[in-house]
Amino acid sequence: MTERSFPLPSQLEAVPGAEGWEAMYPYFSRFQPEDDQRFWFYNSMHFPEVVPAFDGITSEIPYTAIGANTARLFSFPTTMGIEYRIVNGRVYITANPVLDEAEQGRRLADFQERAGHYYANWDRLYVGWQQRIEALIADIEAVEVPELGELDPIEVVTSGRGFASNHLLREEFHRCIDLYSKMWHHHTEFLMLGYGAYVVFFEFCKQVFPEMGDQMVARMVAGMDVTMYRPDDELKKLAALAVDLDLADLFVEGSDPAKVLAALGERGDAGARWLAALEAAKDPWFNVSVGDGFYHHHLSWADDLTVPFAALPRYVEQIAAGQDLTRPTERLAQERDRIAAEYRELLDSADEQTAFDQMLGLCRQVFPYIESHKFYCEHWFTTRFFQKVRAFGQLLADRGVLLAADDVFHLRHVEVEDALADVMLAWASGGTELGGRHWQPIVAERKRIVEALSTWSAPPALGAVPEALNDPAVKMLWGITQETVEAWLGAEDDDGSTVRGYAASPGVVEGVARVLLNVNDIGQIREGEILVCPVTAPSWGPVFGKIAAAVSDIGGTMSHAAIVAREYGMPAVVGTGTATARISTGDRLRVDGDRGVVTVLA
Amino acid sequence: MTSIAPVLHLREVGLGDVPTVGGKGASLGELLRAGIRVPTGFAVTTAAFGRAVEQLTVDGVPIPARVAGLDPADAPALAAACAQLRAAVEAAPLPGEVAAAVSTAYAAMCEEGADASLPVAVRSSATSEDSAEASFAGLQDTYLWVRGADPVLEHVRRCWASLYSVESVTYRLRRGIPETDLGMAVVVQRMVGARSSGVLFTRSPLSGDRSVVAIDASWGLGSAVVSGDVTPDSFVVSKVTGEVKRNVATKTRWHRPDPSGSGVVETDVPADLQDRPSLSDEEIAELVAIARRVEAHYGRPQDIEWAVAEGGDVFLLQSRPETVWAAKDAARKAAPTARPFDHVFNLLGGKRPSEG
């Protein structure tokens, strides 16, 4: 249709060994012939790895919620929701713009009333949000996988409950899915309004101060006591305590957390005090995912102490050497306010200064939500959710339907219901589950498919070049603008040694690349290396103390990698689209965080 | 007008003295008042110009009348007339008391500089020049590295004569600037033995951004940068964070004082200097600090010529209001809204029905 286009979805070549991958995902996630004429970009920010069948729920449900909020609740005038497709295990998305001006006008009146209500009552509504999300976390914690014994407990009879425990199998599983869906509605409840505030301030700054880097705008907005910094702060406190209590010798790089815990148990009062401090920190701060909360294998620190214990030895060493690792929040806050005041002073008129104050004030009002919701939603709730599903997997394994608990994640959530019905029937009838014969070959095949698909290099975009990019989240979160699209289109003309993205954090360094596709490999990072990854997540915080620079495939200037890199004062280039595909571990790189350019030197 | 002295020291003048010492002279005096280092010197006032030119006639016609009678569209006639006018102004000796005052002032500079024929810059300073409304940039002449009292006097006359260049006359005729309003002062300033020099804007000349200082710098005299004979180094410095975006160019040509002792020559930059930054980080920082003081003093963005002497001292040679973006500023005002979040509605609202 257009002269220039990205690879067309209909013409992507099949990945050898991955035949039949389509059955892993719902029919409504498949590319249609007419999708060739639309613009799709790879959401590698949230889905950097192949999506296992169950994990398809982490695209299906979020997109039911985010679109509902923009399109149907708040009536954003120029954008509806986000559509998604899965191909070769990767999630592609597109925002549906509203291009008809009359339609935009009709939507605007509703938008003003509805969004206006939220903006005008933001602080009060946010308090309510906090309560609702904590209640949802309590609810997911309370989900129980029923025990199916020889006989139901006598209390079921004496209380006159009237239904047997196999009924609860389906009800409790449903509760998991329903709570997950509800969590995502709350997750996106404030999100687009928050991004709307950001877009306003960014656009204003870009207009008045075109030379100002995005990172400077973000610095004026940033809050100091961000929930997402807390897990890392807690680790530093634990490291300081280890030094104080003379336990530093136990924290050696490469140690198994279980052995460290056992050794602490033998260190008398000091060891006991440290373990008590660990328990206190864990609830809630270790409910942070080692990923971004979109994959079942992203466990929380509380579930698996490997990541926090990998970070502790270095912190202990630094504190023992007299370094102060506490974040200088006072100084950072003063610096932020100085920068904002100076830019304000440079404005032409009192009117412009007032407008600046309004826009910045609005950003700062929405910032706590934007930064904190991730901890409650993607981390705390989601890691609990996957643990519950895993418990249902354990039951299926115990009943012989699956070989192992984690195999449940190779079934779609509607298939899990089938498998549970099988168990409910077998328990009721006294017969045998038929699922072992049915599901186990399917699980084995899907494991092979996931493996085969992991070798596929997903293009950053598919289909047509977009007419308009109107969605605030697409711009602020994914960092996708007309320039990104142009860069992706022009990527073929490069000599292959240059990767372009967003200048997310200033500075220029050279160093050796460490390409990490999977968060579980973060232990491989060595001091002074340059991290090249699809996307970073908050629990990668400790890694930033080691690396010299960060490069990511996807992300805007308010993405996690950008925020943390600025915090650590290291160069970062985000939203490159192709860094992990074009850079190899061991490559010598120059990262120019001022211009957003990564050069492969050798 | 006749009561005004023919020569005023730059220390004696300020912004209010544009009618007597021209824009450049007034601006230099104002910079001195603000405590900014500029090369010392004096201004030959418009009163002196008036006294020298008012009696002159060409073919029996007083000069103002002769100019007013010209047709800017008739290029050959205009060129001939201008050549005649320039020659007349350049040739006529200065009135005695004007010549004496200039010579005395120059002698004082020589004494101060411990050089009997101190090199100076002789620069025109028109009264309608250097204003935000009508920038005369480049329409008058500047003579560098002039030595000795007689050459100074001669170049003063040449500055006056430059008012009758084809470009200047055409400009006045097309804009309807009456000859009776014409005043031309001349600034005589100590020459800075510039190691590096250039121009700077206290906002980005490319984007209008007021949060940066944009410096163009090259080796030798600033005339190389102004004339475009060299691609200069570019340093864009954030006023807020001090971050510097640098683009160091290969600077192949420079303007240097003629080895004969007077005038300027253009030659190749030595190979080892070509790719080196023409300013150190400290000099960039000092220039930015000075530029911000000047901008604050005037209360508006400035277009500044500067030089760094061989010894590292930073001098400003000229400062005038930036005119290009000043006009565009009005168009990009953000207005406060009734409620802060109305900004969101304005931006994300799409097309409004009422605007349709």
* Contact criterion met (CB < 8 Å) for A115 and B344: yes
Contacts with A448 (C-beta within 8 Å, 6 or more apart), sequence order: A17
Q: Which pLDDT score, from 0 to 100, does residue A526 have?
A: 85
- Note whether residue B349 is domain-resident: no
Express each pLDDT in A185-213 by its tens digit: 999 999 989 988 988 998 899 888 988 87
Neighbours of A382 (CB within 10 A): 28
Q: Please tell me which of the candidates A105, A199, A361 has its beta carbon nearest to residue B352.
A: A105
- Specify the pLDDT at position B284: 97
Rounded Cα distance between A183 and B190, Å, is 75
> How far apart (Å, rounded) are the C-alpha atoms in residues B85 and B100?
25
Structural domain includes residue B346: no
Any domain includes B335? no
The predicted structure's pLDDT at residue B138: 42
Tell me, yes or no, whether B348 lies in a domain: no
The CATH number linked to B272 is 3.30.470.20
The last residue of one of the domains, among B190, B224, B249, is B190
Find out whether A99 and A467 touch, Cβ atoms under 8 Å: yes
Distance of CA A363 to the CA centre of its chain: 21
Domain boundaries, given as residue ranges, for chain A: 227-320, 496-600
Choose the mutation target among B202, B240, B244, B322 for the interface with A, i.e. most A CBs under 10 Å: B240
Whether ipTM exceeds 0.90: no
Where does a domain end: B159, B190, B221?
B190
Same domain, B96 and B208: no
Are the beta carbons of A146 and A168 closer than 8 angstroms? yes
Same domain, B181 and B245: no
CA distance B355 to B343: 17
- Residue A219 distance to chain B (closest CA, Å): 12
User: Which tokens belong to A234?
Assistant: 């807690």
- End-to-end CA gap in chain A: 40
Name the minimum distance, in Å, from the CA of B247 to any CA of chain A: 12
Q: Cα–Cα distances in Å, from A144 out to A159, A176, B157, B158?
A: 19, 10, 100, 98
| In the block, residue with structure tokens 């942070």 | A288
pLDDT number for residue A507: 82
Best of B348, B351, B354, B355 to mutate (most A CBs within 10 Å, chain A)? B348
Would B269 be classed as within a structural domain? yes
B-chain residues within 8 Å CB-CB of A108?
345, 349-350, 352-353
User: The domain spanning residue B106 has which CATH number?
Assistant: 3.30.1490.20
Residues B291 and B217 in one domain: yes
Q: Which chain A residue shows the shortest CA-CA distance from B352?
A: A105
DSSP B107-166: HHHHHHTT-TT--EEEEEEETTSS-SS---TTSS-EEEEE-SHHHHHHHHHHHHHHTTSH
* Closest residue of chain B to A77, computed from CA coordinates: B349
- Specify the pairing of strand A508-515 against strand A530-533: parallel
Count of other CB atoms within 10 angstroms of residue A181: 15
Over chain A (602 residues), the average pLDDT of each successive run of 10 is 77 94 97 94 86 97 95 92 96 90 92 96 96 97 96 96 96 98 96 90 89 82 78 92 95 89 95 96 91 88 88 90 85 90 92 95 91 91 97 98 98 98 98 97 98 89 82 70 77 68 82 84 83 75 82 72 75 84 91 86 81
Last residue of a domain, one of B190, B222, B242: B190
- Tokens 């999977």 correspond to A518
Q: How far is B46 from chain A (nearest CA, A)?
A: 35
Neighbours of A524 (CB within 10 A): 11
The 10 Å CB-count burial string (b at 16+, else e) for B123-151 is bbbbbbbbeeeebbeebbbbbbbbbbbeb
Tens digits of per-residue pLDDT, B279-337?
Answer: 999 999 999 999 999 999 988 999 999 999 988 999 999 888 887 787 777 666 678 99
Q: Which residue of A has its CA nearest to B353?
A: A105
Q: How many domains does chain B have?
A: 2
Crossing angle for the helix pair A268-285 and A230-244, nearest 10 degrees? Answer: 180
Q: CA-nearest residue of chain B to A213?
A: B238
Please give the residue of chain B at the shortest CA–CA distance from A118: B341
Of B211, B334, B352, which has the smallest distance from its Cβ to A212's Cβ?
B211
Coil, helix or strand at residue B103: helix
Q: What confidence tens digit (pLDDT) does each residue in A319-333 have?
A: 999 988 887 788 888
Task: Answer yes or no: do A102 and B353 touch at CB < 8 A.
Answer: yes
CB atoms within 10 A of CB B112: 11
Query: What residues of B are in contact with residue A193 (Cβ under 8 Å)?
Result: 344
Shared-domain flag, residues B171 and B244: no
Contact A565, A587 (CB under 8 A): no
A375 secondary structure, DSSP code: I
Whether residues B333 and A349 touch (CB distance < 8 A) is answered with yes
Residues B222 and B147 in one domain: no
Given a contact cutoff of 8 angstroms between Cβ atoms, the answer to whether B229 and B193 are in contact is no
Taking the CA atoms of residue A184, residue A190, residue A192 and residue A195 in that order, the dihedral angle to the nearest 10 degrees is -130
What pLDDT sits at residue A494? 54
Contact A314, A545 (CB under 8 A): yes
The per-residue pLDDT for A491 is 62
3-state SS class at B235? strand
Q: Does domain A496-600 have CATH number 3.50.30.10?
A: yes
Structure confidence at residue A595 (pLDDT): 77
Q: What is the pLDDT of residues B192-242, one digit of tens each?
A: 889 999 999 999 888 889 999 999 999 998 888 877 778 889 999 999 989
Write out chain B residues lying below 8 Å of A102, CB-based: 353, 356
Structure tokens at A225: 């006591």
Residue with tokens 């889905």: A47
In a domain, B178, yes or no: yes
Query: What's the CA gap between A242 and A249, in Å, rounded?
Result: 9
Chain A residue nearest residue B212, CA to CA:
A211
Side by side, the strands of the sheet bearing B142-146 are: B7-9, B41-44, B184-190, B120-126, B142-146
B351 Cα to chain A: minimum distance (Å): 6
Phi then psi for residue A255, to 5 deg, are -80, 145
Residue ranges of chain B whose CB lies within 8 Å of a chain A CB? 204, 207-212, 236, 238-241, 243, 245, 329, 332-337, 339-341, 343-345, 347-353, 356
What does each C-alpha distance from A105 to A101, A185, A192, A193, A447 come to in angstroms? 6, 26, 19, 18, 50
Alpha-carbon distance B299 to nearest alpha carbon in chain A (angstroms): 10
Question: Do B31 and B128 fall within a single domain?
Answer: yes
Name the residue in chain A with its Cα closest to that of B340: A358
Interchain pair B211, A211: CB under 8 A: yes
Distance CA A282, CA A304 (A): 11
Q: Range of B317's domain?
A: 194-330
Distance CA B174, CA B187 (A): 27
Question: What's the average model confidence in pLDDT over B23-52?
Answer: 91
**Would you say B59 and B17 are in contact if contact means Cβ atoms under 8 Å apart?**
no
Task: Give the sheet arrangement for strand A39-42, strand by strand.
Answer: A79-87, A90-97, A39-42, A461-463
Residue A368: burial class (beta carbons within 10 Å; 0-12, 13-18, 19+) = middle
> Would the CB atoms of A112 and B345 count as touching at under 8 Å?
yes
Q: Which pLDDT value is given to residue A476?
A: 63
Q: What would the pLDDT profile of B130-182 be if each residue is shown by its tens digit?
A: 443 344 434 457 888 899 999 999 999 988 888 888 877 887 787 777 877 77
Q: To 10 degrees, what angle do helices A214-221 and A350-374 make?
A: 80
How far apart, in Å, are the Cα atoms of A510 and each of A507, A592, B173?
10, 9, 60
Residue contacts between A and B (CB atoms, under 8 Å): 129
For residue range B36-45, list pLDDT tens digits in order: 999 999 999 9
Alpha-carbon separation of residue B299 from A348, A539, B293 (angstroms): 10, 48, 10
For chain A, how long is the longest CA-to-CA vector?
A: 82
Q: Smallest Cβ distance to A208: which of B332, B345, B351?
A: B332
Chain B residue with CA closest to A100: the answer is B351
d(CA A242, CA A513): 32
Which pLDDT belongs to residue A224? 67
List of chain A residues whose C-beta atoms are within 8 Å of the C-beta of residue B236: 211
